[in-house]
A and B are shown apart, each in its own frame.
Chain A
């Protein structure tokens, strides 16, 4: 039985819906910019951040997650409200701003999940997946597996994380941040940029449920590096195994992968690790991009943002260039997309890697 994926949407500083995000990215516009003194002890931060005027008094993460869900539901047909629905929230830190004053209840992602579920026009069963930077893929895999096994008919998967003092200070202490625009896979890359966004997709067993043609979720897997909690594996072990398992499950071969939406944070070690893993898999010639140069690293939302943008790209027969990358400079050969490329893609591989040595991969097929 097939599981379909579609009704993708993204709310980010680059655009308020998927079309705006995609069109701006096609034009080479980035949501990243220099922020002066965003937090005490942080003088310059290159990041993707919503303008202050975007928000009122409400919780920022709640607002963007709600908008993403609302827009995703607009992409679905009515008549399925009484089916069994799963609501999956993917987040690394939830409403972390509330931690500052010790409000542990509001800072806990379960508070956000309850608020989002209440806004849904029908009843859903809720789950929160929190696996660092692979959360978005882990959440899609979780939903797809539950649907494939008949536990639910449909799932809405929403990923959200906001730019915060908490994560900025943390990544800064790791010297992981580039003070300029991040340069994924580039010879001169120096680090990542943080960002904030919400993104959502719907998965369903029913093709008719989607207003626009959905895509097929083929398979997905996670794997651990079993090597280090904050540094990527030198052999790309976990990523290699996650992709290998994903391809085995759907019997899709290396030659069939026409596009890789990579993690590509722009840190020296992460990008090298990915190149090593893809070369071990024989995927070094597959057109590969990173979208971090448009959105920054949006943590628990990032993989969902990139899946949504990847699907949108397949709709438009366009692979976006890797913004920020001029000269590819990773340890192994890698076919990094440097100019927007018009190409019909049947099979997309999406990968992500994160702290805790976690890695994930999914395969989505056009049609």
Chain B
């Protein structure tokens, strides 16, 4: 298969209370619950988006990660050439389990919980926040490999289905959360981060 000219313009990782963007730490709050960490990071970013608090933690993490990822970039909101491609291991397990627990406890279930029992909902939340109507793809995988993600972006670029691809890995279950997000652009870009540098960072 051919390789489109892919430029990774930004990357962001979040886990264990630490937010790192392009290799530099942007936010740190260790030893808190997932929900507290997400709420604090939201305040730190000064996002004025009250809908955030209606979301499940998986969508919250994706919204936050994308905001950090694109903080230093030009405004891409409304751009039809932005594709979203996400992967994770546990799908929407946290919301699935919350919905199932209500059933198991013989209680009324909640539409506001049930609606998050699909992993692609987080792409819907991102689409709404950024007015993105582009391609959406959600893949379940046991583990994350940056080459696999770049392969998906490459295919979207080669087939002219997108000019930008945002996504990567976002997994949340109770007190475990992990995000590895990338912002890739087709063609040449003034700003490129080498894949080797990213791989070295991800492996440390």
Of the 9-residue stretches A145-153, A210-218, A275-283, A284-292, which lies at the interface with chain B? A145-153
- Contact between chains at A149 and B114 (CB < 8 Å): no
Of the 9-residue stretches A49-57, A62-70, A122-130, A321-329, which lies at the interface with chain B? A122-130
Taking A149-B1, A169-B109, A226-B127 as contacts, is the C-beta distance between A100 and B100 under 8 angstroms?
yes
Residues of B within 8 A of A308 (CB): none
- Contact between chains at B121 and A355 (CB < 8 Å): yes
Residues of B within 8 A of A189 (CB): none
Taking A104-B90, A223-B135, A226-B131 as contacts, is the C-beta distance between A355 and B124 under 8 angstroms?
yes
Query: Please, how many angstroms separate the alpha-carbon atoms of A110 and B159 in the complex?
Result: 28
Query: Please, how many angstroms separate the alpha-carbon atoms of A230 and B54 in the complex?
Result: 13
* B97 to A, closest residue via Cβ: A99
Query: Please, how many angstroms separate the alpha-carbon atoms of A287 and B197 in the complex?
Result: 54
Query: Please, how many angstroms separate the alpha-carbon atoms of A228 and B97 in the complex?
Result: 23
A-side residues, CB < 8 A to B, are 40-41, 92-94, 96, 99-100, 102, 104, 107-110, 127-132, 138, 142, 145-146, 148-151, 165-166, 169-174, 221-230, 237-238, 241, 245, 354-358
- Contact between chains at B137 and A132 (CB < 8 Å): no
**B118 near A: Cβ within 8 Å?**
yes
A266 to chain B, nearest CB (A): 18
- A/B interface sample: 11 pairs, CB < 8 A: A40-B106, A96-B96, A110-B89, A128-B141, A131-B136, A131-B137, A142-B137, A149-B159, A229-B124, A355-B124, A356-B120
**B108 near A: Cβ within 8 Å?**
yes
Taking A110-B89, A173-B108, A355-B115 as contacts, is the C-beta distance between A229 and B121 under 8 angstroms?
yes
Tell me the total A-B contact number using a CB cutoff of 8 A. Answer: 153
Query: Please, how many angstroms separate the alpha-carbon atoms of A108 and B88 in the complex?
Result: 11
Taking A99-B96, A149-B2, A170-B99 as contacts, is the C-beta distance between A224 and B110 under 8 angstroms?
no
B-side residues, CB < 8 A to A, are 1-2, 80, 84, 89-91, 93, 96-97, 99-100, 103-104, 106, 108-111, 114-115, 117-125, 127-128, 130-142, 155, 158-159, 161
Residues of A within 8 A of B132 (CB): 224, 226
- Contact between chains at A151 and B93 (CB < 8 Å): no
Residues of A within 8 A of B103 (CB): 100, 165-166, 169
- Contact between chains at B141 and A356 (CB < 8 Å): no
Q: Which of B90, B114, B135 contacts A108 (CB 8 A)?
A: B90
Taking A108-B90, A225-B133, A241-B133 as contacts, is the C-beta distance between A130 and B109 under 8 angstroms?
no
Residues of A within 8 A of B109 (CB): 169-170, 172-173
- Contact between chains at A238 and B100 (CB < 8 Å): no
B111 to chain A, nearest CB (A): 5
* B106 to A, closest residue via Cβ: A40
Query: Please, how many angstroms separate the alpha-carbon atoms of A241 and B161 in the complex?
Result: 12
Nearest first, the 3 closest Cβ-Cβ pairs linking A and B are: A356-B124, A170-B114, A224-B127
Residues of B within 8 A of A173 (CB): 108-111, 114
B49 to chain A, nearest CB (A): 14
Residues of A within 8 A of B104 (CB): 100
Residues of A within 8 A of B120 (CB): 130-132, 354-356, 358
Residues of A within 8 A of B158 (CB): 149
A221 to chain B, nearest CB (A): 7
Residues of A within 8 A of B137 (CB): 129, 131, 138, 142, 222
Taking A165-B103, A169-B103, A224-B124 as contacts, is the C-beta distance between A356 and B133 under 8 angstroms?
no
Taking A40-B106, A223-B133 as contacts, is the C-beta distance between A230 and B111 under 8 angstroms?
yes
Q: Which of A129, A221, A355 contacts B139 (CB 8 A)?
A: A129
Taking A108-B90, A230-B115, A357-B127 as contacts, is the C-beta distance between A127 and B139 under 8 angstroms?
yes
* B130 to A, closest residue via Cβ: A226
Residues of B within 8 A of A174 (CB): 111, 114-115
* B54 to A, closest residue via Cβ: A229
* A223 to B, closest residue via Cβ: B133
